């Protein structure tokens, strides 16, 4: 089995609605995303002969996904009062709304699915919320 890894990072703010602890408050992170792909076989076409995929394609796809979330406020859908959200938008804040609680666990699955939809044979997605704390997602484990 062949494995390739690439990584990207982005800076953003978030908070965890209804959480009882420090993370209920707005705070920021330097998120680090590592994507691992795998295959039993390497390509045989002329351009990518002997490769699992072109690293440039994999890196560009991950960067495209992380760029969307860079330097913004990530919020869970319906986690802000409409007036609060509107006030932030009126101040031209970049807000990205996601349909899940913005945790490292949920982001690991999010990036796994986004890269898989882009056509890569994703094995694992790991998201670091801090330099020492991360979450990983793989399909069909256990």
- Residues annotated as catalytic (active site), given as ranges: 23, 71, 129
Residue 33 buriedness (CB in 10 A; 0-12 / 13-18 / 19+): buried
Collapsing DSSP states into helix, strand and coil, what is residue 125?
A: strand
Q: How far apart are CA 108 and CA 114, in angstroms?
A: 10
Query: Please, are residues 26 and 54 in contact by the beta-carbon 8 Å criterion?
Result: no
Query: Please, are residues 99 and 107 in contact by the beta-carbon 8 Å criterion?
Result: no
């Amino acid at each position: 089995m062949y494995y390739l890894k690439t990584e990207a990072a982005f800076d953003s703010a978030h908070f965890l609605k209804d959480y009882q602890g420090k993370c209920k408050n707005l705070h920021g992170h330097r998120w680090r995303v590592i994507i691992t792909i795998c295959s039993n076989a390497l390509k045989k076409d002329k351009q990518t002969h002997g490769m699992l995929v072109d690293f440039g394609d994999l890196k560009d796809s991950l960067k495209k996904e992380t760029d969307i979330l860079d330097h913004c406020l990530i919020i869970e859908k319906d986690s802000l009062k409409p007036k609060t959200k509107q006030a932030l938008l009126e101040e031209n804040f970049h807000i990205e709304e996601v349909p899940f609680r913005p945790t490292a666990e949920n982001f690991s699955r999010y990036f796994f699915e986004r890269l898989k939809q882009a056509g890569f044979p994703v094995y694992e997605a790991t998201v670091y919320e801090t330099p020492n704390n991360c979450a990983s997602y793989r399909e069909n484990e256990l």
